[in-house]
Amino acid sequence: MHLKNKQVIVLGAGSSGRAAAALALREGADVSVHDSCEAITGMPDGVTSVAQASQATGESSCCDLLVISPGIDGESAFAKAYAGNAGEMIGEVELASRFYKGRIVAITGTNGKTTTTELVERILNHSGVSCRACGNYGIPFSELPVMEVPPEVAALEVSSFQLETMVTLHPDVVIWLNFSADHMDRYAALEDYKKAKLRVFENLTDEDDVIVRAGEEIGEQVATMHTFSTEAPADYTLDDGWILCRGEKMTDLSNTRLRGLHNAENAMAALAACASMGVDPVDASEALRGFAPPVHRCELVRSLDGVEFINDSKATNLHALDSALRSQGGRPIVLIAGGKEKGLDYAELIPRLKMTTKAIVVFGEIAHQLADTFDSLSASVPTAVVSTLEDAVQRATSLAEHGDTILFSPGTSSFDMFAGYEDRGDRFRCIVKKLT
């Protein structure tokens, strides 16, 4: 791809927009960044900033290449106004893939992407293969091609939003962790969400590898398939705390800080991907020693009077919440859930809640909706409605007994009350640490 003397508009002034602008500028393009925000700061020298951009701004603009940030819906009137006068519209990840010369491990799925991305990065670096986590987690992918010495491998976490605008992106290995309903406030139907996710396989060949959870429906693939599961026959399985590779002991999870079946599967996926990249199994297992999952994902905040407080603020959908409920080792759970309305059907969780919880505390925009949904549980699992996260922690603490777990796993996004799941999780951690 040649951008010298081309007109490039980057839509969105966040971190991915800044990285895309810097890459296009290095390639000799005339770059401008447009955003609807009041002011744009932090852009590289030589980049033109257009703040307070609107549909009208887009209609009056013209470019050879439009690079859209993942937070902007390509089907919105705002984006279409710009696309109508652009030679091509792509996303920041697609742009980066056209200039990055290393190998790519693409990690996608509804849940577990960040932990798995971190694991791939850790295993490869430990094994002497330089790797950087990027994309939907870590740094923007576009930062890699402009590095003085780019890493040999990109551990690229890709969301459905990023995959919507891919064209030629060609990973060497794809990890497909799982699929369940999410982002239904952006997609008209579940099938649309899955269709966006499945785009990750479009450019694979028979020289590539796919790492997939056994039982996932991803269609026919030309790439070599490797499966993993804690629940079904697969190439990578779990037995008495050991990850097995085709029946042979590989990794003792007791030597790691990975808790729960979901993290066992994340580790399996990462080990399988790195094996496809030629990593020795012994080196891979050694790399997992001492690894701690990212904060906000089944993070043990503290134990107080025999009660464990778990921060799972990153659970922004039902599959993540279900995984957290399954991961607590049989300890009775007082669940704190709730947040923004995303169009998800919480009724499907009722069987799991009956098996794992002793009480539920709900808050946020969907608090009363959740209380109504969980009404059938009231005889065995009471549900309390509160107004704030502080109230939720206090009520949950009053309901918990020695040996219980208070699990903060909202099951939806945080934007009704917080800046993001990190802000929400930090607030939970702060509240819990002040308890006496």
pLDDT in tens, 97-135: 999 999 999 999 888 898 999 999 999 999 999 999 999
**3.40.1780.10, 3.30.830.10, 3.40.50.720, 1.10.10.410: which CATH number matches 7-92?**
3.40.50.720
**Which candidate, 57, 59, 137, 77, places its Cα nearest to that of 105?**
137
Task: Please determine, for residue 393, whether its predicted confidence score (pLDDT) is greater than 70.
Answer: yes
Task: Please determine, for residue 248, whether its predicted confidence score (pLDDT) is greater than 60.
Answer: yes
Task: Please determine, for residue 182, whether its predicted confidence score (pLDDT) is greater than 70.
Answer: no
pLDDT at 377: 72
Give the domain 299-433 fold.
Protein-Tyrosine Phosphatase; Chain A (3.90.190)
Distance CA 251, CA 242 (A): 6
- What burial letters (b/e) apply to 76-89, b meaning 16+ CB within 10 Å? eebbebbbeebeeb
pLDDT at 378: 66
Distance CA 209, CA 398 (A): 50
- Provide DSSP, 237-282: EEETTEEEETTEEEEEGGGS---HHHHHHHHHHHHHHHHHTT--HH
Q: Which CATH class is domain 100-288?
A: alpha beta
107 CA to centre of own chain: 9
Each residue's pLDDT tens digit, 130-139: 999 999 888 9
334-355 average pLDDT score: 91
Under the banding of pLDDT at 50, 70 and 90, the label for residue 389 is: very high
Residue pointed to by tokens 């700061």: 41
pLDDT at 261: 84
Q: Which residues of the chain form CATH 3.40.50.720? A: 7-92
Instruction: Return the percentage of the chain with pLDDT > 90, whole number.
Output: 76
407-428 average pLDDT score: 93
**How are beta strands 242-245 and 248-252 bridged, if at all?**
antiparallel
pTM of the model: 0.78
Q: Which residues of the chain form CATH 3.90.190.20? A: 299-433
Distance CA 142, CA 20 (A): 6
pLDDT at 15: 92
Strand ranges (E), 131-273: 131-135, 153-157, 173-176, 209-213, 224-228, 236-239, 242-245, 248-252
Mean pLDDT of the chain: 93
Within 13 Å and on the Cβ side, how many CA atoms surround 16?
25
Distance CA 373, CA 322 (A): 16
Each residue's pLDDT tens digit, 151-171: 999 999 999 889 999 999 999
**How are beta strands 383-385 and 299-304 bridged, if at all?**
unpaired
Under the banding of pLDDT at 50, 70 and 90, the label for residue 240 is: very high
Query: Among 138-152, 279-293, 325-339, 367-381, whose mean pLDDT is lowest?
Result: 367-381
Task: Please determine, for residue 184, whether its predicted confidence score (pLDDT) is greater than 60.
Answer: no
Residue pointed to by tokens 């693409």: 106
**How are beta strands 242-245 and 236-239 bridged, if at all?**
antiparallel
Query: Are 363 and 435 spatial neighbours (Cβ–Cβ below 8 Å)?
Result: no
Under the banding of pLDDT at 50, 70 and 90, the label for residue 379 is: low
315-334 average pLDDT score: 87
7 SS3 class: strand
Task: Please determine, for residue 368, whether its predicted confidence score (pLDDT) is greater than 60.
Answer: yes
